Amino acid sequence: MNTRQENTSAALADNAPEDTRIRRSKLATPLITLAHGGGGKAMRELIDDVFIDAFSNPTLNTLEDQARVPLAELARHGDRLAMTTDSYVVDPIFFPGGDIGKLAICGTVNDLAVGGATPLYLTCAVIIEEGMPVETLRRIVSSMAETARAAGVSIVTGDTKVVGRGSCDKIFINTAGIGVIRQDYQLGANRARPGDRILVNGYLGDHGAAVLNARGDMHLTSPIQSDCAALHGLIFALLAAAPGTRFMRDATRGGIASVLNEIAEASACGIEISEAATPLREEVKGFCEILGLDPLYLANEGKLVAVVPEAEAEAALQAMRAHPLGQEAADIGAVLANGRAGRVYMQTVLGGRRIVDMLIGEQLPRIC
């Protein structure tokens, strides 16, 4: 079984030689059929052959429709259960830096961790379009399994539905997650106070630009990589260094502009960020200029906004910079003492000051 898992993982590497990608399937057909979602023998075989083997863990319950965890086990991690859910519909399903499976794990791990919860258990529900190659599904599931293992979370129960051709676009994945919040963590969007610093853990907009570029309309020669990553390690390093942290949020759909607006509204305060201090890759900047996009609204999948009391901001920055996922961490602004409640401003490099509103309309559909 070990050998099989290694082979599957190897198949994810871009430069894997052709022969290692071949894994003997026990399934009768190379394509997903409606029968694979029918609740009978074919579904059982698909689950056994593709999911169970990849997700293998002691809590994964193959006989029942539910996973079970002793509450005593949860209580080791804190005093409050956190629960979250996200469906992933990203198009294309494979992109530089990730794929829909990796995204489905990282996104839900991050939603738990930004609230101070240790991510523990995930569910995995897939809706597959009839006709998808089983090997494509296997590649996605392997990516989920690998990402979950690296993040220390277990996928403990799941669901498989198949719909007819044209009734969904390839595959949609839902992951719901539970974690436990430590007694001493008290985070909330409404806790920002004047003087607090606004920190981010690195370059913004990579995911949005990478996915848009992967759709193939731009043909950039140096493709931008998605920043898709599980941030819980970085987050707990930050919290250890800055225990007074007010709030964190991963800046996914709607970008950091939307996160900042939510904080400003929930805390009834004004926020000002500096364009010069905001980390943006030259490629992403150029990409946005060509397409007329504002990078503040571009989706990230491995970037967070943290609101930290001024006295702890330097320690928080250092902690993030010491982590592989926070080397380009930056202090980009502050909560204002006299700003209009609910308003976000940006000091531009030209010396002006503009309002950063919430995203209006749709910048990029199916970005996650």
> Which is closer to a copy of itself, CB of 6 or CB of 184?
184
**All residues at 6 or more sequence positions from 28 whose CB lies less than 8 Å from its CB, including other chains:** 42, 45
Residues 113-152 that bind a copy of itself (CB under 8 A): 114-115, 117, 121, 123-127
Considering the rule CB under 8 A, would residue 355 count as an interface residue with a copy of itself?
A: no
> Which is closer to a copy of itself, CB of 137 or CB of 317?
137
Q: Which of 21, 80, 321, 323 binds a copy of itself (CB under 8 A)?
A: 80
Q: Which stretch binds a copy of itself (CB under 8 A): 138-146, 160-168, 269-277, 315-323?
A: 160-168
> Which is closer to a copy of itself, CB of 21 or CB of 44?
44
Q: Which of 2, 17, 19, 72 binds a copy of itself (CB under 8 A)?
A: 72
For the chain, the maximum distance between any two Cα atoms, rounded to a whole number of angstroms, is: 68
Q: Which stretch binds a copy of itself (CB under 8 A): 9-17, 154-162, 195-203, 343-351?
A: 154-162
Considering the rule CB under 8 A, would residue 205 count as an interface residue with a copy of itself?
A: no
Nearest in space to 148 (alpha carbons), one of 109, 180, 99, 118: 109
Cα–Cα distance measured from residue 357 to residue 296, given in angstroms and rounded to the nearest whole number = 10
Cα–Cα distance measured from residue 11 to residue 18, given in angstroms and rounded to the nearest whole number = 8
Q: How many CA atoms lie within 13 A of 270 on its CB side?
A: 11
Residues 317-346 that bind a copy of itself (CB under 8 A): none
Residues 243-282 that bind a copy of itself (CB under 8 A): 249-250, 252-255, 258, 262, 266
**All residues at 6 or more sequence positions from 14 whose CB lies less than 8 Å from its CB, including other chains:** none
Do strands 117-129 and 154-163 pair parallel, antiparallel, or not at all (unpaired)?
parallel
Give the count of residues interacting with a copy of itself (CB under 8 A).
88
Kindly state the smallest distance separating residue 166's Cβ from a copy of itself, in Å: 7
Residues 6-35 that bind a copy of itself (CB under 8 A): 33-35
Residues 83-112 that bind a copy of itself (CB under 8 A): 83-87, 89, 91, 111-112
> Which is closer to a copy of itself, CB of 11 or CB of 109?
109
Q: Is 23 exposed, middle or buried (0-12, 13-18, 19+ CB in 10 A)?
A: middle
In contact, 32 and 131? CB cutoff 8 Å: yes
Cα–Cα distance measured from residue 191 to residue 56, given in angstroms and rounded to the nearest whole number = 40
Q: Which stretch binds a copy of itself (CB under 8 A): 7-15, 145-153, 159-167, 338-346?
A: 159-167
Per-residue b/e over 126-162, b at no fewer than 16 CB within 10 Å? Answer: bbbbbebebbbbbbbbbbbbbbbbebebbbbbbebbb
> Which is closer to a copy of itself, CB of 15 or CB of 66?
66
Q: Is 39 left (phi over 0), alpha (psi -120 to 50) or beta?
A: left
Residues 167-186 that bind a copy of itself (CB under 8 A): 167-169, 172, 174, 176, 178, 180-181
Kindly state the smallest distance separating residue 49's Cβ from a copy of itself, in Å: 16
**All residues at 6 or more sequence positions from 4 whose CB lies less than 8 Å from its CB, including other chains:** 23, 53
> Which is closer to a copy of itself, CB of 21 or CB of 161?
161
Q: Is 315 left (phi over 0), alpha (psi -120 to 50) or beta?
A: alpha
Residues 213-242 that bind a copy of itself (CB under 8 A): none
Residues 300-319 that bind a copy of itself (CB under 8 A): none
Q: Which of 22, 26, 40, 285 binds a copy of itself (CB under 8 A)?
A: 40
Considering the rule CB under 8 A, would residue 69 count as an interface residue with a copy of itself?
A: yes
Nearest in space to 145 (alpha carbons), one of 8, 259, 21, 293: 8
